[in-house]
Structure formats: structure tokens, C-alpha cells
Amino acid sequence: MKELLALAVAALFVSCGPRSAGNAASGTAPEEVRTPVEMAETIALVKPELKGGLTINEALQNRRSWREYAPEALSLEELSGVLWAAAGINRPENDHLTAPSALGLYPLRVYAFFAEGIYLYDAKAHRLVRVKKGDFRKVSGAQPFVETAPLNLVYVGDRSVYEGRNIPEEHQYYLCGQDAAGYAENVNLYTAGHGLRSITRGSVSPELLSVLELDPARYCFALAQSVGR
């Protein structure tokens, strides 16, 4: 009878325990949470799960370029992690990002192309803000898989950050591309460590800036990526 009572108490404890807290005592990983993304005017992203994913060495071992994607959307947790890896603020005291930037000038905007629309990443609020409704994924690349990948990221440089610094125009394009490589590789390592796929792409449609309604005298395409599973 004593044993039965102990079992019942244990069962009650297990069924009432927190659903995603994991087991701190045994060190097991938390249960995976997969929240569907509501494609509203703004998408509030969630804080990154710092304990999740593979180790950095395992992610490095897994990293490769993928050119085949299932259409399945990323969960809110996955989307949040990808954006945070690309350009999330990891030091709120000075607003510096997960990726480095030449001269600390951060010229890049991160656009996210979904089937439902184009969004701009607002790192400070860790949210996505819709800039256009509709499926413009084709414009974010030049290969067929960009139209299947649930997410395509496009890094656009704003060269106005270099004003008054005596940096030749040609060099400004290099700096934007160099910054973008860091953002993109952060994403590649994040996806490799979280069961996702991605690829860095230098190819994009020539219509990109006009679709984004950006002045080519100021803005430039730096790099793109497809992300999915």
C-alpha cells in the first residue's frame, strides 16, 4: 500500500511538472516547443534558447550548402533563432550583434522573404515588420529552390553609414559583402546545429531593389540565403 501511494504521488508530480522545463537534475534537454508563426503585420520573435541545439563543433561538422527544401514553414522558435543568429543583439549595453561589422557601422538590413510577404528584421525589438504582402521569393534569388524554401534572407547594405569617412565607393560594396558573410555564416551554423538547412547565395534577381523600393544610389545587394528543412 505504501509503495502504491508513493507511485501515485510520483505520477502526480510528473503530470503536473512544467512542460518545457526539461530535467535540470539529470541534465536532459528541454522538450522542443514548436509554435506556428502568425504572418501578421509584425511578428514578435521569441528569445533564443541558449541551451538548445548541437555543440558548435557538431554544427561545424554538419555545415554544408543545401539546394533542396521542403515547403514546411519554420516554427516561431526556429525563425527567431535564425534571425537572432543573423543579426540579433547579443550585448544590449551597446546594441552590438551576434555578427561583427567592419568599423562597427552595421550597414546591413535583413529582409525575410516568405510565401506570405517580405519583412524587415528589427533587431532592437527582435521582431519582423512587414514591408510588402505577397510571394516575392523569386526576386530573392536566381535558382528554382528559392521558390520552395519557406524562408529566404536578403542582406541589403545601406551605404549612407560610410558618409564622411573617406571610404571609396567600391570599397563600401566590399565592406557590405564582408559584413554579410558573417551574418550568413552565423545562420549556416545555427541551422546546422538545429536540424535545419541553409545556403549562402550571391545570386539575386536584378529587380530586388525596385521590389523593395530602395534607391540603388544608396542601397546595395550584399548577399542572400535560403533557409528551411
Ligand X SMILES: Cc1cc2nc3c(=O)[nH]c(=O)nc-3n(C[C@H](O)[C@H](O)[C@H](O)COP(=O)(O)O)c2cc1C
CA 139-194-179 angle, to 5 degrees, is 50
Verify binding: residue 201, ligand X, rule CB under 6 A.
yes
Find how far residue 198's CA is from the centre of its chain. Answer: 10
Residues 128-157 contacting ligand X, CB under 6 A: 143
Other residues' Cβ atoms within 10 Å of the Cβ of residue 150: 21
Subset of 26-65 contacting ligand X (CB under 6 A): 64-65
Interaction between residue 210 and ligand X (CB under 6 A): no
Write phi, then psi, for 206 (nearest 5 degrees): -65, -15
> 173: Cβ–Cβ under 8 A, 6 or more apart, which residues?
157, 159, 220
Considering only residues 74, 199, 208, 227, which one is a binding residue for ligand X as defined by CB under 6 A? 199
Using CB under 6 A, which of 200, 219, 220, 227 touches ligand X? 200
Contact (Cβ atoms closer than 8 angstroms) between residue 60 and residue 189 = yes
| Distance of closest approach, residue 224 Cβ to ligand X, in angstroms | 7
Between 140 and 200, whose beta carbon lies closer to ligand X?
200
Please identify, among the stretches 84-92, 118-126, 129-137, 200-208, the one whose residues bind ligand X according to the rule CB under 6 A: 200-208
Shortest Å distance, C-beta 145 to ligand X: 8
- Name the residue nearer to ligand X (CB basis): 131 or 181: 181
CA 123 – CA 127 distance, rounded (Å): 7
CB 74 within 8 A of CB 82: yes
Rounded to an integer, what distance in angstroms lies between the CA atom of residue 20 and that of residue 166? 52
As measured in angstroms, the least distance from the Cβ of 88 to ligand X is: 21
Alpha carbon distances (Å) from 178 to 8, 98, 150, 193: 60, 15, 25, 23
Choosing from 134, 203, 215, 218, the residue that interacts with ligand X (CB under 6 A) is 203
- Stretch of 19-27, 50-58, 86-94, 197-205 contacting ligand X, by CB under 6 A: 197-205
Q: How many amino acids of this chain bind ligand X (CB under 6 A)?
A: 9
Residues that bind ligand X (CB under 6 A): 64-65, 67, 143, 199-203
